[in-house]
Amino acid sequence: MVRPRCLPGHSPARQILMSSEDAACDEQLMLAYAAGDAQAFDRLYEHYRTALYGFILRQVKDPVASNDIYQQCWEKLIKGRHSYRSKSPFPAWLFRIARNTVVDHFRRESKTPGGELPELVSDTAGPEQQSLETEVEESLSAAIAKLPTEQREVVLLRLEAGLDLAAIANITGVNTETCKSRLRYALAKLQQQMQDTDATSGGQHAAQ
Amino acid sequence: MRPNKPTADERELLQQLDQLQARAQMPEIEPPALIDQAVRNMARRELHGHSPPLAGKLRWIAGLSTASIALIALGISLVQSPYEPGPADESFKSKKTEISSMREESRSATPAAPPAPVSGARLKQDQQLPKESLEKQSVLADSPYNQAELAEEMESADIDSAQAGEDPALAWLDLIQQLHEQGLRAEALEQLQAWQQQYPDQPLPNWAAELLAPKH
């Protein structure tokens, strides 16, 4: 998943580890937009549209609700543009807005009491259909969908937004060690799922 | 909030996740095109609605409008204020006074006119003046400007009768004759004696000589 940032070929996953000059690019675009530059917003939007939408849809799993939340996120960003400070990395700010909007959505839906993200129901398809899906679809997406919400959130903030553990911990409101623990569990499950998928796919291909 | 340098443990975790992603090729999910357009429009609309730089650009227009309105208001107030004479008006007034005094001087230099009742021309003119104009004179008598105007008018009337060749002595005599014919003998005699004193060289008509002659 390679997305352009200020320099072509830079993936979001490497954003945080880039030089301070490169990392400041999105922040400058955001400040330029707040000062009235509409084109700066267009560039910023182009950089983050798929990442943000993917993050929301993979969390909510409802296209209609995702569309609504996605628009709400950008609306909050647009209306709050004057409150943005360049001390905060732009992706961290954007995905904090997105995460809060998703949490608000779940609260409104009364899916989780106390503001915790809901434990989303895993795919209800049978084993045969599952194996077909994993073969047709990208297996990682399906594996992420099966993760517990807190672990999925950490994974998506890394894969979609390219944030480091400190930023993810900051956004999710936990300390870095908790965040690291969630990621470790998630990674183990994902690797196991991927191995199972590979084995299933390999077995089916061998049988054919 | 700048990211801290990740530890080796964190780096390893993240690398494993990135490798997993690279191997699985998790697809990008595109938002609907309509939503893209809606968000972009919203961003531009907000800028046009509440843009501080735009407000800054329009600030000079607001200032210019205020100045224009103030200028127009000043103009209107000047137009509506009561007239106060300026230096040019003062000089015009003094010139007028000078001309009036010169006219008075020239008038006093001319020989005195006979007493009012003897001015037959004036009497005739008064008799001939229409009633409306007399009323107008009385109404306008208060105004100094109108009085002067009327006086000038009467003056010009005198000049006109003189220019017409009417002799004041004869006119007076005519008047005395009218009195005599109306049977006002005493008044006619009194006027005739006065006339004779005023014009001793004038020859007396017969009716006047009879009137002066003592009755027996």
pLDDT in tens, B124-179: 444 454 554 444 444 444 444 455 554 454 455 444 545 555 688 888 988 999 98
Higher per-residue confidence, B130 vs B22:
B22
Partners of residue B32 in chain A, C-beta under 8 Å: 67
Closest-approach residue (CA) in chain A for B23: A140
pTM: 0.50
Closest-approach residue (CA) in chain B for A145: B26
Measured between alpha carbons, how far is B211 from B216 in angstroms, rounded to an integer?
A: 12
Alpha helices for A80-138 (secondary structure H):
90-108, 127-136
Measured between alpha carbons, how far is A48 from A40 in angstroms, rounded to an integer?
A: 13
Task: Number of helices (H) and strands (E) in chain A: give both, helices first.
Answer: 9, 0
User: Are residues A87 and B1, on separate chains, in Cβ contact within 8 Å?
Assistant: yes
Measured between alpha carbons, how far is B157 from A169 in angstroms, rounded to an integer?
A: 117
Q: Does B10 touch chain A (CB under 8 A)?
A: yes
The ipTM of this complex is 0.72
Measured between alpha carbons, how far is A66 from A76 in angstroms, rounded to an integer?
A: 15
Confidence grade of residue A140 (pLDDT, cut at 50, 70, 90): confident
Interface of B with A in 36-65 (CB under 8 A): 36, 38-40, 42-44, 46-47, 51-54
> Which of B213, B182, B177 lies closest to B195, judged by CA?
B177
The residue type at B202: Q
pLDDT in tens, A119-139: 443 444 444 444 444 443 567
Q: How far apart are the first and last CA of chain A?
A: 31
pLDDT in tens, B82-97: 665 556 556 666 656 7
Indicate the residue of A45, A57, A141 with minimum beta-carbon distance to B40: A45
Partners of residue A158 in chain B, C-beta under 8 Å: 14, 17
Report whether A91 contacts A26 (CB < 8 A).
yes
> Which of B23, B177, B121 lies closest to A143, judged by CA?
B23
Measured between alpha carbons, how far is A103 from B132 in angstroms, rounded to an integer?
A: 102
Q: Tokens in use for A4?
A: 């352009």
pLDDT in tens, B33-76: 999 999 999 999 988 875 554 455 556 777 788 888 889 988 88
Q: How far apart are the first and last CA of chain B?
A: 149
Query: CA geometry: angle at A125 spanning A119 and A131, to 5°?
Result: 110
User: Are residues A35 and B14, on separate chains, in Cβ contact within 8 Å?
Assistant: no
Closest-approach residue (CA) in chain A for B15: A13
The 8-class DSSP code of residue A122 comes to P
Mean of all residue pLDDT scores within chain A:
77
Q: Which helix (H) or strand (E) holds B47?
A: helix B33-50
The 8-class DSSP code of residue B69 comes to H
Place of tokens 């608000």: A104
Q: Tokens in use for A68?
A: 């609504």
Partners of residue B36 in chain A, C-beta under 8 Å: 45, 49
Nearest C-alpha of chain A: how many angstroms from B68? Answer: 30
Report whether B40 contacts A45 (CB < 8 A).
yes
